[in-house]
Structure formats: C-alpha cells, structure tokens
Amino acid sequence: MKKERLSWGLVQVYTGNGKGKTTAALGLALRAAGHRLKVYILQFMKGDKGYGEVRAIKLLAPFITIKQSGLCTFVDRGKPSREDIRLARQGLETARKIIKSGKYDLVILDEINCALDYKLIKLEDVMDLIAGKPPCVELVLTGRNAHKKVIARADLVTEMKEIKHYYRNRNISSRKGIEF
C-alpha cells in the first residue's frame, strides 16, 4: 500500500510567554502519527534525555523521531557557551537535511525561536531554512520571542499568553510529567 503524503505543507509558529508551545507541537505530532504521517522533532537548547516527551516518543517509533541539539543546562542569554552555539548550529544543519530529505511530512523545530533570540543561530539561516522547505512538508517553529520576520513568513502564528502561572503565584517548581 502506497503511503499517503501531505498535499501541501505550511509554516506554523507557536510563540509567546505562556506555557504550552512545545505541548501544542507535540499534540500536532501525535495527531500526524495517528494518520501514519512521519514526524521529526528537533529540540534546540535541550539535551536532557529524561524529558517525558523524549521517553514517550520512543514508543511511537517509527512514526515520530525526536533528537536534541543542546546541553542539559540552561543557556546563559547574555553569554552562551561555545558549545551552546556549536550545538544550535549543528541542529540547524540537521534540520536543513531532515527537511530536504523527503522522509518526513511534519518537522517540528522546538525552541528554535529561542535559539534565534539568544543569538545561537542567525536569522538569515532560519529564513533560508523556511524558504527551502519542500511544498509537501509542514514546518513548525516553537519558542518565545519569535522574530518578526519569522512571524511575517509563517502561515499560522499562535501566541501563548500567560495570564497566571503557579511558578509565580505559588512558587511551584517544574514537575516531572507535567513540565518535563
């Protein structure tokens, strides 16, 4: 039986200061896998293999693949390490190859907007990546502070807006299975 492909793919951006950008992208990946579409998720600025989504997605192979391109530590916004920059640029090159490979229907570049905002990667490289997307690939870019040029180029932009958060209101820290 011949595998069905997307007729056309669009560019989606999930941004904003509210919780739920990665979660929305993962929900889209789950939906796509349910229709036997092939999904590739590349997480920028993340390197912890213990994240719940990394563990769960391994159970959804071969429909969803997830890779990380970052360290297990937070990136210093003002002074990223050489390794942070190297891994982000390596991730961008991986993304370029994956998008052009023709193997995946949906490609999610998780936290790429943050990598761009933190100056780990260059705007022109991200814009070239979007411009070089084959017509049948859906591309999703997540992360806070999406650049205005990325927003202008996208077909769909969703902003997650924080109204209230238990981090600030009740000093509740990240919880296993909920935030990671």
Residue 5 counted as domain residue: no
CATH code, domain with 118:
3.40.50.300
Is 0.85 surpassed by the pTM of this model?
yes
pLDDT tens-digit profile, the chain (180 residues): 456 778 899 999 999 999 999 999 999 999 999 999 999 999 999 999 988 999 999 999 999 999 999 999 999 998 999 999 999 999 999 999 999 999 999 999 999 999 999 999 999 999 999 999 999 999 999 999 999 999 999 999 999 999 898 877 788 888 877 877
- Asked whether residue 176 is assigned to any structural domain, the reply reads no
The tally of domains found in the chain comes to 1
Beta bridge mates, 104: none
- What does each C-alpha distance from 43 to 6, 40, 95 come to in angstroms? 23, 10, 10
CB contact at 8 A, 34 and 78? no
Tell me if 61 is assigned to some domain: yes
Q: Per the domain annotation, does 6 fall within a domain?
A: no
Residue span of the structural domain in which 102 resides: 11-170
